[in-house]
Amino acid sequence: MIKGIGIDIIELDRIEASLGKSDRLAARVLTASELGKYEELTNWRRRIEYLAGRFAAKEACAKALGTGIGKLSFRDIEVTNDEKGAPKLTVQGYDHYIYLLSISHSKEYAVAQVVICEKA
């Protein structure tokens, strides 16, 4: 049974402008594991897409849970990849749900959608 859905879209220019000033946004949004992968990226554009995609995924997840960012922090939500490379979510304190995540990028935007289902 579906418990919630959420979607978020963000302009890549906003992420780029923030990163141009400092890496504070990356440190605030990404978990330690995500930050490690982010720091391994040598292509500036790929760093922007990576951070924007995770930002959108975490916002979409918080919307789907009905909590918003506030009750949950960005670092309570982690985006990893399964064995085929598809993104997946884990959320501290909410492991009783199944999370379905899709992230996409265009030249100007990153978008993410999350569907939350009850475990059988």
Q: Secondary structure of the chain in the HEC alphabet?
A: CEEEEEEEEEEHHHHHHHHHHCCHHHHHHCCHHHHHHHHHCCCHHHHHHHHHHHHHHHHHHHHHHCCHHHHECHHHEEEEECCCCCEEEEECCCCCEEEEEEEEECCCEEEEEEEEEECC
Is-above-0.85 flag for pTM?
yes
The pLDDT tens digits for 68-119 are 888 889 999 999 999 999 999 999 999 999 999 999 999 999 999 999 999 8
- Residues designated as active site: 63, 105
> Domain containing 15: what range?
2-118
Whichever domain contains 107, its CATH number is 3.90.470.20
The pLDDT tens digits for 34-52 are 999 999 999 999 999 999 9
Q: Looking at the 3D structure of the chain, how many domains does it have?
A: 1
